[in-house]
Each structure stands twice: as structure tokens, then as C-alpha cells.
Amino acid sequence: MPRSLDGLVLAPVADQAPGQVGTRTRFTYHEKNGDIWAEYAGGDVVRGHLVGSRSGDRLDFRYVQLKHDGTTSSGHCVSRVVELPDGRVRLEETWEWESRPGSGTSVVEQITSEHDR
């Protein structure tokens, strides 16, 4: 059985383009019976939410976010859950904006210490 994401805090390993999630963004994940959801904030993002489903090591979800400039945006993401050698979780993501042009890939990893939060 793949490791649950419930209660895990993850952060991007690199900054994306300006105005998007970055290394200061924190995602708090929840998981129950194949459903996943998360809240996120930090950097240029005031508040964000994602909701979707999990099947094995594959996540499929939609996200929506509010930026400090008052704009909103939404998109779709498919992620692969990977367990790192040190036991932490990594999500390897392929995403696409639905509310504007743009797509890409990103990596978020579990944060384990208060210092990293």
C-alpha cells in the first residue's frame, strides 16, 4: 500500500515563473479513501486549494489560487508519488493552467523539520 499523504507538508524544490508557487509556498495535504485535497499559501500565493483523487502512486487534481495582486487562476495537475531513500515523499508533477496559457513540470518534497516550514 502506498504511503498516505494525509497530514504531510510539502514544498517546491525550485521556484517557478514569477507569480506562481515557489520555494516559500507550503502545501498541507489530506487524504481519505482515495480522495486528496490540500491547502497552500506562501510567496506570491495568498491562498490556494487543490482537490482530486489518488490511484496507487498517481494523483489527478484541479487547483485554484489567489495571488497577492488579487488575480485568480486555476489548472489541472497529474503527479507521481515517489518515496525518497530517507523516507520522505516527493511528488513529480505535470501541470497545465486552464484559466490562462501555460504548462510545465515541477517537484515538491515533504518538509520534515520546523526550520524548513
30 occurs within a structural domain: yes
Is residue 1 situated within a structural domain? no
What is the mean predicted confidence (pLDDT) over 89-101? Answer: 95
Within a domain: 83: yes
* Cell numbers at 108, concatenated: 515538491
Residue 2 lies in a domain: no
Name the pTM for this structure.
Answer: 0.90
- Is 4 within a domain? no
Look over the chain and give the mean of its residue pLDDT values, rounded to a whole number. 91
Q: What is the pLDDT of residue 115?
A: 46
How sure is the predictor about 71, in pLDDT bands with cuts at 50, 70 and 90?
very high
Q: For residue 109, which amino acid is it? A: E
- Using pLDDT thresholds of 50, 70 and 90, give the confidence band for residue 21: confident
The residue segments making up the domain with residue 61 are 9-116
> Which CATH number characterizes residue 18's domain?
2.40.128.30
Distance of CA 34 to the CA centre of its chain: 16
